[in-house]
Structures are given as structure tokens and as C-alpha cells.
Amino acid sequence: MQLSMEGINSILRQYPSEQRYCLAIMQDMQRQYNYIPREGMEALSEYLDCPLSSLYSMATFYKALSLKPKGKHIIKLCDGTACHIRGASPLKDGIRRILGINEDETTEDGLFSLELVNCLGSCALAPVLVVDETYYGKMTLEKLPGILSQYREEQS
């Protein structure tokens, strides 16, 4: 896939060329492309005058950053303690049965990625599932197929 350098450059231009903005720039790229493309890494390396290797260590250290493209819809399953003891693990198994993906994997059609995330601070609604920006509280295995097919139908 050919990415437009214009898009990458417009993210870079929002920040001064200083190391302290490195994480913020990478987060913006992640948000824009659902991953950090190689072209973005190279452009950032030049912009900050910073070796590609140290950007690589940033990208692999922070959980919010990914070097592989993610699916169109990101399913975040909270596995904080409250969600864990109220049944996050059976939900993870349920998603695997329905979509055939484990955590950090993407469906073959590129529609969904599953992330197992740390506490989202919505413990009162445990267990919590977030698809893109929408929160689904008090999740059950029963509700799962309906919620997921909603996103699938939207596609077709």
C-alpha cells in the first residue's frame, strides 16, 4: 500500500522538532492509520534526527503503538481485576469462537482486531467490552454475537 507522505508530514508539522513530542507524534500516526507505517517511522526519524532503532524501541515498548496494521474495528476487552473476576476470560473465549481470533490478532477480512486491555476504569460496569469508542457494560456471552454482527452488517 502506498501511503501519502502528505498525511504523514501534516502530523509531523503539528509538533516542534523535539524528542519530547516523539510519543505524541507516534500516537497520532497510530490513530490515523491504525498502525505506524514504515514510511512514518522513517519520516519521524529524519524529522527528530533520531535513530530508527530508538523509534523501534518506542513502538515495541508502548502498548498503544503497533507496527502491524490493525483491523477496521478494534475490540478492547477489559481484563482489569474487576472484569476478570466477573467473567472476562469466558468472553475472550467467546470472541475466539465467534471470530476465530486471539488477543493481538486480526480477522482475515481485516474487520476486527482483539486487544486484551488493562483496566479501563469502568469497573462498576464489569465486565466491559469496548468496540472502537463505544462501551458495552455488564457484558455476557449472550450479548456478544449481537454486538459483533452489528459491526459486520454495517460493513455489508
Partner 1 sequence: MKKNIKVCCGTGCLANGSRLVAEEFERLAGEDALVECEIRRTGCNGFCENGPLVTIEPDHISYYRVRVKDVPEILEKTVKNGETVDRLLYKDDSGKPVRSQEENPFYAPQLKIALRNIGKINPADVDDYIATGGYEALKKALAMTPDEILDEMDASGLRGRGGAGFPTGTKWRTAAGYDVFPKYVACNGDEGDPGAFMDRSILEGDPHSVIEGMAVCALAIGAEEGFLYIRDEYALAVQNVRAAIRAAEERGFLGDSIMGSGRKLHLSVVRGGGAFVCGESTALMQSVEGKVGEPRAKYIRSVQRGLWDHPTVLNNVETLANVPYIIVHGGAEYAGIGTERSKGTKVFALVGKVKRTGLVEVPMGATLRHLIYDIGGGVQNNRPFKAVQTGGPSGGCIPASMLDLPVDFDTLKEYGAMMGSGGMIVMDDRSCMVEVARYYVQFLSGESCGKCTPCREGLKQMLAILTDICEGRGRMEDLDLLESLGETMQDSSLCALGKSAPNPVLSTLKYFREEYEAHIREHRCPAGVCKELTRFSVNPEKCAGCSACVRVCPTGAASGERKQPHRIDPEKCISCGSCREACRFGAIITKGRGEA
Residue 80 binds partner 1, judged by CB under 8 A: yes
For the window 34-53, what string marks contact with partner 1 as x by the rule CB under 8 A?
--------------------
Residue 64 binds partner 1, judged by CB under 8 A: yes
Distance from C-alpha of 136 to C-alpha of 144, rounded to nearest angstrom: 10
Q: Kindly tell me which residue out of 2, 142, 146, 153 binds partner 1, with binding defined by CB under 8 A.
A: 142
CB atoms within 10 A of CB 108: 10
Q: Kindly tell me which residue out of 3, 23, 101, 147 binds partner 1, with binding defined by CB under 8 A.
A: 23
Q: Which is nearer to partner 1, 37 or 79 (CB)?
A: 79
Interface residues for partner 1 in 93-112 (CB under 8 A)? 93-94, 97
Grid cell for residue 11: 502530523
